[in-house]
Structure 1
Amino acid sequence: MSLSHTTGEILLREDKEGAVYLTLNRPDKFNTLSEAMLSVLQRELEAIALDPAVRCVVIGANGRGFCAGHDLREMRAHPDQAYYQQLFRLCSRVMQSVVALPVPVIAKVQGMATAAGCQLVASCDLAIAGRSASFAVSGINVGLFCSTPAVALSRCISPKRAFDMLVSGDFISADTAAEWGLLSAVTDDDDLDTAVADKVEQILSKSPAAVRFGKSMFQPQRQMALAEAYDFAGNVMAENMMSPDAGEGIDAFLGKRKPVWEQPGH
């Protein structure tokens, strides 16, 4: 079953068989992350985090570009440091909410993703782009170093490549972004919808519990020292082993049959 609704029209949401599709819907503004857009995104992410029936999230966009970052006109209309601090806190909260979601988040990227738009791609667990997509953290070109995008970018690609992008403002192609680790896959533009749908279907075919255990472990352990990470991961894996799905999956493997996973929300 598929359910669709709008969230203030600047963000569209569709729920379909365990997957939530969030679509940035300011195509005439290249889907810039205005204060309103960030607020509604945060609200939806918080709702998704509390819904046990959600198993995957896709963040996409309408129009020729994925996201051109912050709304510069809106920012210039509020020349106040306290306002900027609040805005960047809100944006940082959205990015951290993406990382903290208990299910995988896929960025579906067409056209350009710049500045905070590139940050959003870097914050997602997976990112699939059409081959004509391009990426930059180009605030430096208008006198603004992309400091908050640098946090996500430098955790996604090597520090030297990240700093080069940040200090030059240069665009990189989708193929280069995949080579550097910003993207998990690149496809022909006409095949982008299919590639994302195939990845969603693949995730939905796995144990919902195992995927949630994996998401809860993967991001936090990246920030830990090696011994701490192994201790944390071992505890998560032991808890995962106690889940009904792990017992079912192993028994199915040994019995050479297809497993039947527990369905959340049922």
Structure 2
Amino acid sequence: MTYIDLNCDMGEGLDNDAAIMPYITSANIACGYHAGSPDTMKRTVELAAMHNVAAGAHPGFADPQNFGRTEQHLTEAALYDLVSTQVYALQSICRQHHIPLVHVKPHGALYNMAARDADMARVIVKAVRDVDKQLSFFGLSGSCLISAAEEAGLKTVSEVFADRTYQDNGTLTPRSVAGAMIEEETLAVKQVLQMITQQEVTTLSGKLIPLKAQTICIHGDGVHAVEFARNIHATLIQHHLTIQHP
């Protein structure tokens, strides 16, 4: 039997968290830097627990005006502090509510930069491991994030995207490029099934490339996020795929 995780970025100030939560198994919760606040972190942790969804930290650049999607170049010490501070913050809230913090997934530009920069990836992974070496680490399938986490001895979860297209080198198509986002539900579902059942994806140029799919990301800020989540969840069940946290 094939098992797959469905994750979504949560606590980012949108009004659809409660509608999406029943269809996912992992919630990546904003830690107050690119979005969120102590109050939204608390409410999202409680919402995740209510739906038996694994709570994860979603640290990003301190860049709320750009939603953490603008690249920043920090010293190793500043990068380490950026990540560890946010993970500690959510871990503290989880402990107050007797809910385990299960995983960490970097956000936005932080995620994309570290996916291709081995030095950045190592710093981020070290920060996570120093907080709690039992945390699982979510990273772009085949990227520096996954290899760095594996080298550090963390449990890794290779992430693929339902609503993003891919480049021939396995990276996500930049949002500034036409066709970066998949906005047709049928195409998103088709890509999800291809990635899970065949462990490959068709790139924006039409090339077929291999990838490892352990968790599927559905972006909560997508126009059709709730519909995507509901229908992807239903389709996976129809194809006898078990949806659960890794």
TM-score band w.r.t. shorter chain = 0.3 to 0.5
RCO greater where, 1 or 2, for CA within 8 Å and sep 6 or more?
Answer: 2
Q: Which has the higher helix share?
A: 1
TM-score between both structures, scaled by the size of structure 1: 0.33
Larger radius of gyration between Structure 1 and Structure 2:
1
TM-score between both structures, scaled by the size of structure 2: 0.35
